[in-house]
Structure 1
Amino acid sequence: ALTSNYFVIRKELDVPVMDADSKIDLSRNDDETKQILASLISNLKGHSIGVQRSTNAEAFIREYFGDSVEIRSYDNQDNLNLDLASGRIDGGLADYSVWKTFLASGQGATGAFYGPRISGGVFGPGVGIGLRKQDVDLVAIFNDAIDSVSADGTLAELSLKWFGADLVSR
């Protein structure tokens, strides 16, 4: 499953609308990915964007946005959220599950998801679990189970139920 990163911006910002269902997979370097990324960079140009220090989100912003946005690094997500809620920054970039909790709180009422789901590249291939190398049979059982619930739609249903979004990689 992906725990993709998303931008959250203050609702009052005057930025062009983007398709909320669009996705950027940084592992792919196709024209569609380049076009969506270019639009995102253009739309957020000149705005202040918060990220948690020493995270993949910070690496992404520095690599892809450079000087086009004012990057503010925070020691933790709570401090970023405080600055976003109070209007000291225009937006932030973090993992979906982090934003979901923030936006559901009273503090997050001023923010909204913005733009595409971002994964791959500096964000890695997704979430996994570690198993001992010698447990080959157990690895096969896990992989078969994951493939089965992905194929029949159960994993997407569970994702929607527990996270409010389909976070299943495709």
Structure 2
Amino acid sequence: MKKYLLSSALLALSTLVAMPAPAKEWKTATIALEGAYEPWNLTKPDGSMDGFEIDLAKDLCGRMKIECKFIAQDWDGMIAGLNGGKFDVIMDAMSITDDRKKQVSFSQPYAQTPAGFAGLKTGDLAKMDGTGTTVTLTGEAGHDKSTVEKMREALKGKTIGIQTATVYTKFVEENFKDIATITEYKTSGERDLDITGGRIDVGFDDDTYFTSAFSKSGNEQMTLLGAQIAGPIWGEGIGPAFRQSDNDLREMWDKAIGAAIADGTVKKLSLKWFKLDVTPVKGS
């Protein structure tokens, strides 16, 4: 009898130990953005932040009935800051990739955009092959080889500027490091200053960023160069990142993003900020 009681007690204890922790009741969430990647997010003269992701986050937080706070964070410290507990969500035009999934978790994406090169309208690359077209790359060397080879021919001996630690950094370094000089920058704005100043030949970035940057004073002489690149090479799309332990928060955002896509809010906000629809297309 004592053995039975002891076994029962141990079974009950093990059941208690194995029970998952109750889901956290999220009433507030702190969202990190650069505040310097216009039009995705930007900092206004009064210190407040604005942009596509700010508008979208406010809408999503309203749907989830939680209070959201925004803080500025340097891009290269985003994932470390999230996992270190400095904030709860990264919402900074972050592409969803397999490498990043090893460190953080993502909800469904809220945007998909192409990317490409940009430089001076008067530069010797102004008529780079493919300019004005969009190509789809998979990230598989065999499939993408002919397209990338044409770019390599045009950029041989040139200097390419890229913001550090982005999904685009890896693409540029893997495909052009052996034939061009790669210069990394803390922000895309710093890179653009070197393009307009003639210190580098081209930059590589998201199309929506460049089209906004071209309208700024001093950047009018810049333009897109060569074919713009879309497709699986950039991952599943752009979405918010969470600590891997915060599945409850991630699921809340996933549901809210789905609703914002379904009722046209994502399309409406993307047309407002980008002048084009960046709504993700499922299965693409």
Q: Does 1:24 align with 2:136?
A: yes
Would you say 1:101 and 2:212 are equivalent positions?
yes
Unaligned runs of 5+ in 1: none
Structure 2 distance, partners of 1:157, 1:145, is 10
Residue 52 of structure 1 corresponds to 163
Structure-2 residue corresponding to 1:92: 203
- The question of 1:116 aligning with 2:228 is answered yes
TM-score scaled by length of structure 1? 0.75
How far apart are residue 48 of structure 1 and its match?
Answer: 1.1
Match of 1:7? 117
Aligned pair count reads 164
CA distance in 2 between partners of 1:96 and 1:40 (Å): 17
SS in structure 1 of the partner of residue 129 of structure 2? coil
Q: For residues 31-61 of structure 1, what are the alpha-carbon distances to aligned partners after superposition, in whole Å with 9 as ceiling and x for unaligned?
A: 4x43222222222222111112232222211
**1:67 alignment partner, SS class:** coil
Work out which structure has the larger RCO, using CA pairs closer than 8 Å and 6 or more positions apart in sequence. 1
Q: Which residue of 1 aligns with 2:188?
A: 77
Contact 1:2 1:127 in 2 (8 A): yes
Q: 1:88 to 1:133 in 2, by over 3 A?
A: same
> Bigger CA drift: 58-67 or 10-19?
10-19
| Larger CA Rg, structure 1 vs 2 | 2
Maintained 8 Å contact 1:4/1:167? no
Structure 1 residues 27 and 58 mapped into 2: Cα distance closer, same or farther (>3 Å)?
Answer: closer
What do the CA deviations read for 1:3-23 (whole angstroms, capped 9, x no partner)? 432211111222333142313
Tell whether 2:153 aligns with 1:42: yes
Give the corresponding residue for 2:274.
163
- Asked if 1:143 corresponds to 2:255, the answer is no
Q: Which residue does 2:57 correspond to in 1?
A: none
- Amino acid in the other structure paired with 1:159: S
The TM-score, its normalising length taken from structure 2, stands at 0.48
How far, CA to CA, are the matches of 1:109 and 1:70 in structure 2?
25
RMSD: 3.0
> Are 1:63 and 2:174 an aligned pair?
yes
Distance 1:80 1:137 in 2: 36
Describe the superposition over 1:115-168 as per-residue Cα deviations: whole angstroms up to 9, x where unpaired. 2134544x432112368645868745643653x468xxx865653443023434
1:110–1:158 Cα change, 3 Å: same
Please give the secondary structure, in 1, of the residue aligned with 2:214: helix
Q: Secondary structure at the match of 1:162?
A: helix
Higher helix share: 1
